Amino acid sequence: MNKVTQPTLTIDGKTVAIEGERNLLELVRKANIDLPTFCYHSELSVYGACRLCLVQIEGRGIQGACSTPPEPGLKIQTTTPQIREIRKIAVELLLANHDQSCPTCARSANCQLQSLAQRLGIKKVRFKSVYQPVPLDESSPSLVRDPNKCVLCGDCVRTCTEIQGIGAIDFTHRGHEVTVQPAFGKNLGDVECVNCGQCASVCPTGALTIKSEVDQVWNLLADPAKTVVVQIAPAVRVGLGECFGLKPGEITTGRIVAALKQLGFNQIYDTSFAADLTVIEEGSEFLERKSQGGTLPMFTSCCPGWVKYAEQYFPELLPNLSTCRSPQAMFGSLVKSMLPDQLKVERKNLKVVAIMPCTAKKFEAQRPELGIDSDPDVDYVLTTQELAQMIQSAGIMFDTLQPESFDMPFGFYTGAGVIFGNSGGVMEAVLRYAAEKATGKKLEQVEFQQVRGDSGLREATVMVNGAELKLAIVHGLRNARVVAEEVRAGKSRYDLIEVMACPGGCVGGAGQPVSTSRDARALRTKGLYHADKMLQLHKSQDNVFITECYAKFLGDIGGEKAHHLLHTTYQSRRRIMEDPLPLMQSQAADKLKVSVCLGTNCFLKGSQDVLNGILRHAEQNGLEGRLDVRAGFCFEKCETGPTVMIGGQHIPHCTAHKAIEELNSRIDGDNPSPQADTGPGSTDAR
């Protein structure tokens, strides 16, 4: 029997086996050669724009390694004088058209452009600068977009489209005028960005960075009138160490607590406590829906990127989302209700800082419903990267710190709260609660391996008390769209669906350290499961401080007080934020404002006829100086369309006749008596 020969090729004189690699770049890296590249990511499509990963193929010339499939027998060189010069020219051209304020750039310590310039030995730029500065985009609560530092690698564009399925940013214009920007030239905060920050996590320069709140937190810590408490999310403990030279996944909880105490925080707690609380509330909500015929499938609501995505693209599914707040939001609401009395401090002087692996949490903290009278439940959100910056700024030698303990009671947690940081962790934690609650028997085997894994869409079936529960676990919003479309079409076969916006869950959040290790996310995931194993308690219902919290403060699970403090509501965000289009403008002080919705729903119901009728009536009766008429795109009142706002009053199911009657009733009697010329616009389009 003939032995099958392994196909091979030669890289810099070394024989390398071809074992299913997709391109030459993967083979070169397998040969322990780090080819430079800006635009290659293994989870994204091949783009081939930067032209840095060039190789010399015998008989074929110079080609891009990322876009060339492997073939047996190829002879490849990765570093020739010609290739080195091409790479230097490419990087110099980028530098010539780049904002070179490197020392003050947020990515100065890990900028790929800076690193490549040093690696290629670039001492000066030989090309004339054509750089023309443009304004920063700081409209987003989570991200800062600096077009001056963009190298047009396309990583952010492909991530937003291919991983998240949104496409909030893309290439615009042509030739030397090409740029990457949000739709219609708008700011990032005004388009359908969900603040997940995955674009910033793949950006090789400082073109997309996390919006820092470090200075605000320093100011809080320096204010003696403020009592500052801090909560730490589960995923932070397996990520922060990377900023200080430790391996991904290494658990640094005790050292994080020690560092935060040294920075001056008054109380240090763990968001895992609130995750345990979330399990109790969300698990109870699911069991109630399942047993009493409530809205199913139920989606988890811990991820703010997913929640905003649902509000934008699937508002009709908002009743399917659990009404539970995220652990971050639950924590803020609970401590700002309990601690003022315990610590003898006014709520306005009690400040909550959250350390999160996530940039979308910055947006969540600013949601008006998650606070009282403009006082947010969570005041500031720092990412893992921002906490590392504070520790470094304070001169704290993190790797030499002696571990310290959380403060009680909000520093006590179970393994169920810790695994929240992994994709599938929320599902497993809820199952640990629901299985025991439904059967009334102690759950001996707490691990549900069937919901674990790294694929973007996983399915599992679990038997609980004789009933079959069908589950889906999703990470990456493009995968979430597939499941949501099934639910919207009435074809869903699931009971409970967990969605995380970021690949791998919170461990892969954009606030985590930028890592060049392809295994970093998997190691962080493994670290959280190890943290669960090392704890004595693995089920949220076994957290004695949670039990005490219900007994002494919250009352019944899902009861009136618990619902008020721990649950929330959602809103439709169907449309891109847009200023109404002015069609008739008045400078009069007593002008009457009129807005007509021309969104798809209202347009199909006849809003165009209503608008034409209003404009015609104004022109025929000389009212141009009195009316300010604008066309909007959505008032989020689609069920009562056509929708018209006159003087701030909503006119549902509006017709031209109704609108003109309302106008006539509001216009001063000094004007000539208006003639109601409704014309064809008077048709009731309901």
Which sequence positions are flagged as catalytic?
282, 285, 302, 322, 361, 364, 369, 506
Structure tokens belonging to residue 546: 């949670």
> 9 near 69, Cβ under 8 Å?
no
Question: DSSP 3-state assignment of 646?
Answer: strand
Q: Return d(Cα 345, Cα 199) in angstroms, integer.
A: 40
Structure tokens belonging to residue 133: 């500065």
CB atoms within 10 A of CB 592: 19
CB atoms within 10 A of CB 206: 25
> 308 near 197, Cβ under 8 Å?
no
CB atoms within 10 A of CB 585: 12
Omega of the bond prior to 642 within 30 degrees of 0, cis?
yes
Q: Return d(Cα 678, Cα 58) in angstroms, integer.
A: 79
- For 248-286, letters b (16+ CB in 10 Å) and e give bbbbbbebbbbbbbebebbbbbbbbbbbbbbbbbbbbbb
Q: Return d(Cα 194, Cα 185) in angstroms, integer.
A: 17
Omega of the bond prior to 409 within 30 degrees of 0, cis?
yes
Q: Return d(Cα 283, Cα 438) in angstroms, integer.
A: 10
User: Which single residue is written with the structure tokens 């615009």?
Assistant: 172
CB atoms within 10 A of CB 450: 17
Omega of the bond prior to 70 within 30 degrees of 0, cis?
no
Residue 288 CA to chain centroid, in angstroms? 29
> 594 near 630, Cβ under 8 Å?
yes
Q: Which amino acid is at 518?
A: R
- Nearest residue to 236 via CA among 127, 373, 96, 390: 390
Q: Return d(Cα 595, Cα 576) in angstroms, integer.
A: 17
Q: How much helix, strand and coil, in percent to the nearest 5, is found in the chain?
A: 40, 15, 45
Residue 354 CA to chain centroid, in angstroms? 16
Cα angle: 208, vertex 214, 216; to 5 degrees: 120
From residue 427, give the alpha-carbon distance in Å to each of 168, 169, 315, 668.
Answer: 29, 32, 23, 62
From residue 348, give the alpha-carbon distance in Å to each of 94, 193, 652.
Answer: 49, 31, 40
Q: Return d(Cα 328, Cα 367) in angstroms, integer.
A: 13
